[in-house]
Amino acid sequence: MLASQYRLKSAASLARDYEIVAEWLMEARGYQLPGKKTSARQRSMRALERLFLPHYFGSPPRWRLLARRIGGQRILPDFCLIGPLKAATSDLAVSLLLHPNVIPPLSKEFWERDPEAWRIYYPTEKEKRRHEARCGPSLAPYLTPSLHLVEVPYHLARIRPHAKVVITLRDPVARLFSHWKWEKFLAGKRVADRLPFLATFAAYVDKSLALFPSLPMFTACELPGLAASIYWKAVQGWIECFGPDAVLVLDVGDYFADRNRFMRVIQDFVGLPRVDIPLVARKTNENPLRFPPPDEATVSKLKQFFQPHNQMLWRVIGKEFPW
């Protein structure tokens, strides 16, 4: 019965807004390839399609939020699946939302700090009861990559003290490389071409290390890259708020090695029935820009920098990852 419920959701529909946003950003940031310019009709069709999507990457159309002000009391999340920026949180979110017993919020990411403001993104209590009647016990997740938002765990623990928290972390060097690519993408071609420290990953790393910790590095992502790859203090904050037994910390590398095994660990921890997730060919929210891998000298430099921070993380979580 549960497997048949996959007809209610699809990876394509859950991930469609990521594709639309990426297409829009490519054009807006000046990265559109010659001869590939979107026509006015295509832009109109894309904008019309986005008005009625079942799930959004970020900000949904305003009318969708206004319409949700009616219909009754809305729920809050039952558990969290969070991480730092650029740690495969979007791909993980789509895999999780394919579970028939998971109730999707309207958006994956919403950045209000007060959890009471999150209700507008979640189903009503009546909608949750209908979902439970169809699929069995149902849970709603919080999916914003808010690991480093200091106040969020305090606010959430106050109103949802028994929520389970899954934190997925990525090798800090690999995450920083992805962060640099995202910085170039979000900053836009015109800005990136004028800033020499964005030209290559090696230049970005050298500038970041030279400024750290005295001066924040340039960022279009709203969090400097080095800081976003230092996890231990942020993880410690979530554990302090919810308790060590309610926080599970995982290496996202294990997700890409065996997705269903990884998802079963999460399912068991948060109280979902074990269900294998259909494999999806494309990664969700993958950066459309392509770059060669980082050079060995830069990787070695970063491994040395992150080593003491990783050692602190091992002490906090009581286990080690192969970073």
Residues 192-231: tens digit of each pLDDT: 999 999 999 999 999 999 999 999 999 999 899 999 999 9
Structure-token pair, residue 106? 């309207």
Cα 159 off chain centre by = 23
Residue 285, pLDDT score: 72
Fold of 1-323: Rossmann fold (3.40.50)
Answer whether 60's CB lies under 8 Å from 107's CB.
yes
| C-alpha radius of gyration, the chain, whole number | 20
Residue 66, pLDDT score: 95
Residue 281, pLDDT score: 59
Structure-token pair, residue 235? 């993880």
* CA atoms 25, 114, 81, 55: torsion sign: negative
Structure-token pair, residue 100? 């028939």
Residue 278, pLDDT score: 77
Helices 11-28 and 40-50: angle between axes, nearest 10 degrees: 140
Residue 1, pLDDT score: 33
Rounded CA gap, 228 and 207, in Å? 15
Structure-token pair, residue 10? 């699809």
Residue 5, pLDDT score: 41
Residue 4, pLDDT score: 38
Rounded CA gap, 230 and 249, in Å? 14
Residues in the chain with pLDDT values less than 70:
1-9, 33-36, 280-282
Output the pTM of the full model. 0.93
Structure-token pair, residue 286? 């993958």
